[in-house]
Amino acid sequence: MKTKRASTPPVSPNKQRALVDRLAQACGGAYSPKQRRQYFLTGPQWAAAYEGHALFHAPTRRPVGFEEVIREYDNIGIGHWTTHDTDVIPTQELGKEGQAETVAAIKKALKKHGLKCSMVTTETFHHAVFATSPAAESPEIRQYAKWRLENTVAIGHELGARYAVYWPGSLGYFVQGAVEETEMLRWYADGLNAACEADIKLAKAKERKPMKHCLEAKPFEPQGHIILPTSDAMLAFISSGLLKHPDMVGLNPEYLHELMWGASVRAALARALACGKLFHFDINDGYPLKHDVDIAVGLVNPLDWLNVLVLLRTHGYEGPFNLDYKPPRTTSNYGVFSVSFPTAVDRFITLWEMAGEVSTDKVVTEASAALRAGAGVKSHDATELFEANKELMTLHELIAHRIFQILVGQHRGRVYSIK
């Protein structure tokens, strides 16, 4: 049967914001800016300033500068700000007077709005100079890349950042056979070594702690093969012997980047945790074996996200949650700060608090404890052991069901009646 839609009169342009605001209010369940600030949520300059453009897509939003982003993050209750060097300083101005002026203006804006700069990162992927990656054959390009990393570390110390992130972009090749992979890995390590050494020196001079240097993998690009495609590949790289300061270097996994290659994100994070290398975490959502769609957290895989956060809570992860997503191009400039960021933050907080409920839920804890207790049978007979444990193992599925109930609120007696 076709349902008839009530006809809605056209919404004139000057009434649209009010409508969006009213419906956002009607959603309810929003946290206050003060509550939001209690979480280590970090807002990237580039996420808020993303104009909606892509290979086949023109921008749908006007550019926004750091003053506006920092002010709006303050209004929302996002207490930390992150940036690429070139998000705020044009490439040509890097290392020059323009850089010092911009860094001073950023400091002022952060102070005015009570935000902290938590992380800095170097853009080594967008500019044409990095067409052959930051670990290019050309020694002068590699020298330039090193300088860029060192310069970002200096900006980070100036702004008080505790983390530096490295997403190497197209570190790899567009056509096979043209690059020698082991050489490229060595050259990439040289860049990171330079950044760590610059950090050690600056930290000493400024009496600050050295930063945590966090590698971020992305498995594929529209073109090109990547030579460090996953967080696991990066873990191997960290302990390869190529890094001079492997203790300073860890990971910034991105939820979607692990999902993109078809991994269990939670298992990928568990491997990073087991190595003591989960330093930083980019949060977003998307689909397995597809593009880097960078959808906001919880809009595609809320159940998986809940499970991810249970793991992180269990292990006392205290690092940042970086809102590295892209507001869709259907969202306006106004919508970026009135809908996109506040709702992303609120979904994260809800899932985080829910994860706490999972960890203390009576059914989940009793079932998990029973599974760990086993049947208490001492035997080396496989069949006997299986028989002794087989009813217990049904609890796996029951735990999964219980987590679903927690996600949809059924554990609090929420029921759906059927007619």
Q: Report what 193 binds from ligand GCO, Mn ion, none; CB cut-off 5-8 Å by kind.
A: none
Residues 6+ apart with CB under 8 A from 13: none
Q: Given the structure tokens 């096979």, which residue do they identify?
A: 176
| Number of residues forming the site for ligand GCO (CB under 6 A) | 9
Q: Report what 121 binds from Mn ion, ligand GCO, none; CB cut-off 5-8 Å by kind.
A: ligand GCO
In the chain, % helix, strand, coil (3-state, to 5) comes to 50, 10, 40
**Rounded distance, CA 203 to CA 191, Å?**
18
Please report whether residue 99 would count as binding ligand GCO according to CB under 6 A. Answer: no
Please report whether residue 85 would count as binding ligand GCO according to CB under 6 A. Answer: no
Least spacing, CB of residue 167 vs ligand GCO, in Å: 4
Measured in residues, the chain has a length of 419
Show the CA angle centred on residue 88, arms to residues 174 and 144, nearest 5°: 50
- The β-bridge partners of 116 are 80
Please report whether residue 221 would count as binding Mn ion according to CB under 5 A. Answer: no
Please report whether residue 158 would count as binding ligand GCO according to CB under 6 A. Answer: no
**Rounded distance, CA 274 to CA 197, Å?**
26
| Nearest to ligand GCO of 72, 282 (CB atom) | 282
Least spacing, CB of residue 81 vs ligand GCO, in Å: 13
Please report whether residue 254 would count as binding Mn ion according to CB under 5 A. Answer: yes
**Rounded distance, CA 307 to CA 268, Å?**
13
- Token pair for residue 349? 């907080």
Q: Report what 150 binds from Mn ion, ligand GCO, none; CB cut-off 5-8 Å by kind.
A: none
| Site string (38-77) toward ligand GCO, x via CB under 6 A | ----------------------------------------
| Binding span for Mn ion by CB under 5 A among 14-22, 78-86, 310-318, 322-330 | 322-330
Q: Which of 345, 406, 355 is nearest to 35 (CA)?
A: 345
Please report whether residue 190 would count as binding Mn ion according to CB under 5 A. Answer: no
| Site string (344-383) toward ligand GCO, x via CB under 6 A | ----------------------------------------
Q: Given the structure tokens 């060192």, which residue do they identify?
A: 150
Please report whether residue 285 would count as binding ligand GCO according to CB under 6 A. Answer: no
Please report whether residue 254 would count as binding ligand GCO according to CB under 6 A. Answer: yes
- Token pair for residue 34? 């003060």
Interacting positions 105-124 with ligand GCO (CB under 6 A):
121
| Nearest to ligand GCO of 345, 355 (CB atom) | 345
Strand pairing category for 116-121 and 172-173? unpaired
Please report whether residue 199 would count as binding ligand GCO according to CB under 6 A. Answer: no
Q: Report what 346 binds from ligand GCO, Mn ion, none; CB cut-off 5-8 Å by kind.
A: none
Contacts 24+ apart (CB under 8 A), 298-306: 298/344, 298/347, 298/348, 298/350, 298/351, 299/347, 301/259, 302/347, 302/351, 302/407, 303/403, 303/404, 303/407, 304/265, 304/266, 305/255, 305/351, 306/351, 306/354, 306/355, 306/358, 306/403, 306/406, 306/407
Question: Which residues lie near Mn ion (CB under 5 A)?
Answer: 254, 282, 292, 294, 324
Q: Which residues bind ligand GCO (CB under 6 A)?
A: 121, 165, 167, 216, 254, 282, 292, 294, 324
